[in-house]
């Protein structure tokens, strides 16, 4: 056996280590915990759980042979990474040999949809009297700035990790502007749209011209005090300048929140689906006995496109499939034809009025495979205990809880 997969219990969030024994390399796929995750019974606060996972990763995977793949920029996939970065602890710096992200930076409309979704979510939290998590796109840019020499872009057909894996999604041919309609439905002004797109274009230019220039840092001497500064200093200042524009957009929305209140949740869902469209999906390049499929939060229509593609075909069988979007019904896809030996479902109880939509759906319980689930307290196949399930998953299931991680 050359592959092992370690699944951390990030509750309603993703944090999975894909390990290759042949060359002793590791690939961390995402690290985030959803804002609404209920971790209180085991860890107290969400940051305590993220600290436990972060410490474990830094302790066991600081050998210089670990890479990171961020499937997309939603909080339940990045908040742990941002926690590590903002802690300022040296043990987290330079931890990853390579960092892989989706190639969206030639499309300001895609960047704008990410920013607008974050803005609306932050407004929703303000309305509830809650402070929003600080894991947003600009935190990701700051994190990448400190790891600039190792950032690589992925889109369909691109191989990575020395050719071990091939990207199945996102496709790089979708450049439609979906933002204008959403902004119109929210009754936001054309000035707001112009400012949002201008910020998005600046982000794209920053990433492609500065961040991905592989750290062509330069030094100069300040005329007043002869201190040396370099390109990293200016990169971080640019990010702070972009944050200021972001905050002004937040104020613009907040002024008009009364007019858009009824439609806000609908538009957030549209943006959420749109941003999942640029989620990374990958499999191992060469078909073998230990095929893996990682799906992130891919939406069902796009998973269908991947499954029916004739240029890059899915393997016929998989030893491991990471089920999309925590096993929820909205993202359900029937993987039975691929005869998976193991399916991985990352889920856990959440505290929100719409909690039912966060549960693992019944369909995945019918898969004839070993089910490695992080928790059993948010599943439609059982009542907070796998022993009560009547579906096939009860016959071959493993739980990460109450451990920090489980290996399969």
Confidence at residue 256, expressed as pLDDT on a 0 to 100 scale: 76
Residue 33 has pLDDT above 50, yes or no: yes
Which range has the worst mean pLDDT, 91-100, 120-129, 266-275, 389-398?
A: 389-398
Residue 277 has pLDDT above 80, yes or no: yes
pLDDT tens readout for residues 289-298? 999 999 999 9
Let me know if residue 350 belongs to a domain. no
Distance CA 84, CA 28 (A): 14
Let me know if residue 95 belongs to a domain. no
Distance CA 393, CA 395 (A): 5
Confidence at residue 210, expressed as pLDDT on a 0 to 100 scale: 80
H or E element: which one contains 80? helix 75-87
Distances (CA, A) of 116 to 63, 76, 104, 264, 336: 38, 17, 15, 11, 36
User: If we measure between CA atoms, which residue out of 369, 294, 373 comes closest to residue 337?
Assistant: 369
Which range has the worst mean pLDDT, 102-106, 122-126, 215-219, 357-361?
A: 215-219
User: If we measure between CA atoms, which residue out of 321, 314, 316 comes closest to residue 294?
Assistant: 321
pLDDT tens readout for residues 69-103? 999 999 999 999 999 999 999 999 989 999 999 99
Confidence band (pLDDT; 50, 70, 90) for 222? very low
| pLDDT (mean) for 99-116 | 95
pLDDT tens readout for residues 333-350? 999 999 999 999 999 999
Let me know if residue 296 belongs to a domain. no
Confidence at residue 326, expressed as pLDDT on a 0 to 100 scale: 98
Distance CA 285, CA 35 (A): 34
Let me know if residue 255 belongs to a domain. yes
Let me know if residue 360 belongs to a domain. no
Residue 388 has pLDDT above 70, yes or no: no
Average pLDDT score, the chain: 89
Q: How many domains does the chain have?
A: 1
Residue 317 has pLDDT above 90, yes or no: yes
Sheet containing 99-102, strands listed edge to edge, beginning at the edge strand earlier in sequence: 151-154, 99-102, 66-69, 25-31, 15-20, 3-8, 405-407
Let me know if residue 127 belongs to a domain. yes
Let me know if residue 74 belongs to a domain. no
Helices (H), 277-316: 300-308
Residue 219 has pLDDT above 60, yes or no: no
C-beta neighbour count of 19 within 10 angstroms: 17
Q: Which domain holds residue 237?
A: 104-136+175-276
pTM of full prediction above 0.85: yes
Which range has the worst mean pLDDT, 49-53, 144-148, 390-394?
A: 390-394
Confidence at residue 260, expressed as pLDDT on a 0 to 100 scale: 65
pLDDT tens readout for residues 183-213? 988 889 999 999 999 999 999 999 988 888 7
Let me know if residue 125 belongs to a domain. yes
Residue 3 has pLDDT above 70, yes or no: yes
| pLDDT (mean) for 311-320 | 98
Which range has the worst mean pLDDT, 83-92, 223-232, 246-255, 382-391?
A: 223-232
Confidence at residue 102, expressed as pLDDT on a 0 to 100 scale: 96
Confidence band (pLDDT; 50, 70, 90) for 214? low
Which range has the worst mean pLDDT, 85-89, 217-221, 247-251, 386-390?
A: 217-221
Residue 242 has pLDDT above 70, yes or no: yes
């Amino acid at each position: 056996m050359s592959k092992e997969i370690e699944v951390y219990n990030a509750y309603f969030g993703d944090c999975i280590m894909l390990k290759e024994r042949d060359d002793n390399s590791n690939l961390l796929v995402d690290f985030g915990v959803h804002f609404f995750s209920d971790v209180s019974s085991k860890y107290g606060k969400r940051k305590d759980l993220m600290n436990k996972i972060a410490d474990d990763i830094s302790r066991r995977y600081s050998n210089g042979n670990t890479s990171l793949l961020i499937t997309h920029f939603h909080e339940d996939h990045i908040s742990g990474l941002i926690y590590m970065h903002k802690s300022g602890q040296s043990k987290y710096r330079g931890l990853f040999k390579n960092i892989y992200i989706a190639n969206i930076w030639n499309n300001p409309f895609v960047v704008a949809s990410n920013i607008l979704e974050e803005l609306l979510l932050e407004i929703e939290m303000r309305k509830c009297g809650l402070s929003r998590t600080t894991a947003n796109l600009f935190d990701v840019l700051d994190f990448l700035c400190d790891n600039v020499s190792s950032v690589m872009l992925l889109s369909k057909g691109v191989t990575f990790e020395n050719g071990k894996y091939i990207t199945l999604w996102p496709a790089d041919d979708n450049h439609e502007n979906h933002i204008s309609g959403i902004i119109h439905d929210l009754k936001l002004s054309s000035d707001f749209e112009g400012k949002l797109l201008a910020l998005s274009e600046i982000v794209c230019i920053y990433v492609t011209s500065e961040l991905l220039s592989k750290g062509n840092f330069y030094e100069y001497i300040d005329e007043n005090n002869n201190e040396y500064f370099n390109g990293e200093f200016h990169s971080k200042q640019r990010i702070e300048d972009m944050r200021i524009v972001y905050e002004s957009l937040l104020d613009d929305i907040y002024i008009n929140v009364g007019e858009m209140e009824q439609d806000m949740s609908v538009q957030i869902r549209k943006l959420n689906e749109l941003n999942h469209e640029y989620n990374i999906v990958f499999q191992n390049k060469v078909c073998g006995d230990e095929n893996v499929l990682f799906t992130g939060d891919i939406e069902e229509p796009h998973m269908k496109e991947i499954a029916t593609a004739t240029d890059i075909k899915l393997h016929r069988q998989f030893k491991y499939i990471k089920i999309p979007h925590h096993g929820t019904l909205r993202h359900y896809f029937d993987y039975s034809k691929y005869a998976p030996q193991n399916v991985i479902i990352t889920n856990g109880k959440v505290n929100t009025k719409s909690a039912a939509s966060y549960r693992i759906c019944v369909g995945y319980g019918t898969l004839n495979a070993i089910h490695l689930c992080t928790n059993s307290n948010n599943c439609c196949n059982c009542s907070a205990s796998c022993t009560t399930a009547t579906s096939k998953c009860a016959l071959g299931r493993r739980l990460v809880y109450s451990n920090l991680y489980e290996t399969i």
